Chain A
Amino acid sequence: MSTPQTIGQRDTLVPVSALNEFVYCPRRFYYQHYHDEMGTPYELVDGRSKHEKQSQRGGWITERYFRAAELSLHGKIDLIESDGDLLTPVERKRAESGQYFPSDEIQLAGYCMLLESAIEEPVNVGYIYLYKTDERYAIQITESHRETVRKIIDKIQSLSVDSIPPLTDNPKKCEACSAREYCMPAETARLEPEKARGTGWEGQI
């Protein structure tokens, strides 16, 4: 048998939105990519045809697609604020809970890295805007953010269909997860307890 295909071989670039999905739960991400088990199929954001006609009004650039082969990253930035020479990506979140998550910061860091590769200037700040509270947070993108982004890209690229990621370390995430019915975390912990060992589901039943 040939070596199993990895996502890295299939799509050489990782979409920025995948960083957020992977941080939320690698297993959910696996189902989405290999088993189409999310209700709606995952679609690659490919801006070359669809997203090229960006509009520019006042100090905003919307729907701009970027790709950076050297980062193995691509994606569409919904909103970029421009203030003179300064460009700052904005990631808008519905955030019913009224707060944003570390995974949102990672996604924003991915956009900043994409943008700086495109304009060849450092982009060290991004904004997270929450609809729910109409609040905007300035996020300082640190070297630790960048390192995390690079690590996650590596993990995503080496993901293979033959190695399913373990159950989540935080069962609370399962409550709102649309893949739960297929993933069956609690059921797996009960039927084959060794599969839950070392995960957040160990000892939950």
Chain B
Amino acid sequence: MKAPEGMFDESVIYVTKQGAQVQVDGGRIVIWDVDGDEGELASFPIEKLDTINVFGGVNFSTPFVARANEHGIVLNYFTQHGKYRGSFVPEKNTIAEVRRAQYDLSRERELDIARQMIAGKIRNARTLLSRKGVRGTDVLKDLGVRTESDATKDDLRGTEGEAAERYFQLLDETLADGWMFEKRTKRPPEDHINSLLSLTYVFMKNEVLSALRQYNLDPFLGVLHADRHGRPSLALDLQEEFRPIFCDAFVIRLVNRGVVNHDDFRKDNRLSDGAFKTYLEKFEDYMNEELTHPHFEYTVTRRKAVRQQAILLRKAITDELDEYHPLTFAR
């Protein structure tokens, strides 16, 4: 099968240079070093971008923001260390018919979609472990089967919780000597591995947010994660299937290949400035890395694969497809 052309190439950019300003020049977006004397740092054709992530002290010119609104470009703000602060979302980011379908979803249909997502996550967890030669994943297999008979969202959350517990018990075995994973801790992550996992989940959540917004779904109305003020529940739902196979795999690669060392962390378990920059570059490379799509058999970047899942989710929500088809890797 031949991959469809276009659209997702270079669609997300990251600006980390402190004191930089994002401007427009004709049909291009230009990143300009306002504070320093480096001049033009980079430029991109405006119609190719849909997301710009900025870290810390980066400014937007007013004409640029007007143009971002016009072209449907989402702006995400992070602190210099990658903590999410908020977004600018263009006004045309709603299509009534799609939103209506999303709000009209029945409980059963939501459960169906959520089941597929969790089954996909468990499948991918098993695949990651087996790629790393970890044994003892039979429990995960059984839990994957159990999702099919979970009759309520709470049952499904229970199955997911058990699977996560089992999976994280085994994750330690995938790490090179000198690294240890004891248990998953958040807010704040209590060790270096948890810090890298948390950071990567934030970045992936953001990829998913961009993808959902691109296809006019409301990221704040979930199918499984409970709706809570300010929480992008649908993004968290869709992120589930990518967590093991993309996020955790990326973190394992970073530490096992020695890209990140224990020396790269500060006392509070955050990455040092230099290491964070390396992290960003590696994450970007990783999202642009190509793989053979497991269902479609053509070559796609990870970013494109994530965006296609947003399309497939929308098609399930608007009844164009009968069910949601998660991105699963069987091997």
Q: In the complex the two chains form, is B296's CB within 8 Å of A190's CB?
A: yes
CA distance A192 to B315 in the complex (A): 12
Q: In the complex the two chains form, is A164's CB within 8 Å of B321's CB?
A: no
Interface mask (B200-235 → A, CB under 8 Å = 1, otherwise 0): 000000000000000110000000000000000000
Would you call the interface of chain A mostly helix, strand, loop, or mixed?
A: helix
A:168-205 near B, CB below 8 Å: 180-182, 184, 186-188, 190-192, 195, 205
Known contacts: A34-B97, A161-B97. The answer to whether A186 contacts B1 by CB under 8 A is yes
CB closest chain-A residue, reference B104? A1
Q: In the complex the two chains form, is A35's CB within 8 Å of B4's CB?
A: no
CA distance A11 to B189 in the complex (A): 56
B:276-331 near A, CB below 8 Å: 295-296, 308, 311-312, 315, 318-323, 325
Known contacts: A34-B97, A182-B311. The answer to whether A190 contacts B295 by CB under 8 A is yes
CA distance A188 to B1 in the complex (A): 12
Would you call the interface of chain B mostly helix, strand, loop, or mixed?
A: loop
Chain B contributes a number of interface residues (CB within 8 A of A) equal to 24
CB-CB under 8 A from B98, the residues of chain A are 35
Q: In the complex the two chains form, is A180's CB within 8 Å of B295's CB?
A: no
Q: How near does chain B come to A151, taking the closest CB pair, in angstroms?
A: 25
Q: How near does chain B come to A36, taking the closest CB pair, in angstroms?
A: 5
Q: In the complex the two chains form, is B97's CB within 8 Å of A184's CB?
A: no
CB-CB under 8 A from B97, the residues of chain A are 34-35, 161
CB-CB under 8 A from A161, the residues of chain B are 97
CB-CB under 8 A from B2, the residues of chain A are 186
Interface mask (B146-186 → A, CB under 8 Å = 1, otherwise 0): 00000000000000000000000000000000000000000
Q: In the complex the two chains form, is B320's CB within 8 Å of A164's CB?
A: yes
CA distance A195 to B312 in the complex (A): 14
Known contacts: A181-B7, A186-B1. The answer to whether A192 contacts B296 by CB under 8 A is no
CB-CB under 8 A from B312, the residues of chain A are 184, 187, 191
Select one of B1, B5, B6, B319 contacting A205, CB under 8 A.
B1
User: Chain B: residues with CB nearer than 8 A to chain A?
Assistant: 1-2, 4-7, 95, 97-98, 215-216, 295-296, 308, 311-312, 315, 318-323, 325
Instruction: Enumerate the 3 nearest inter-chain pairs by beta-carbon distance, A residue then B residue, closest first.
Output: A181-B4, A180-B4, A34-B97
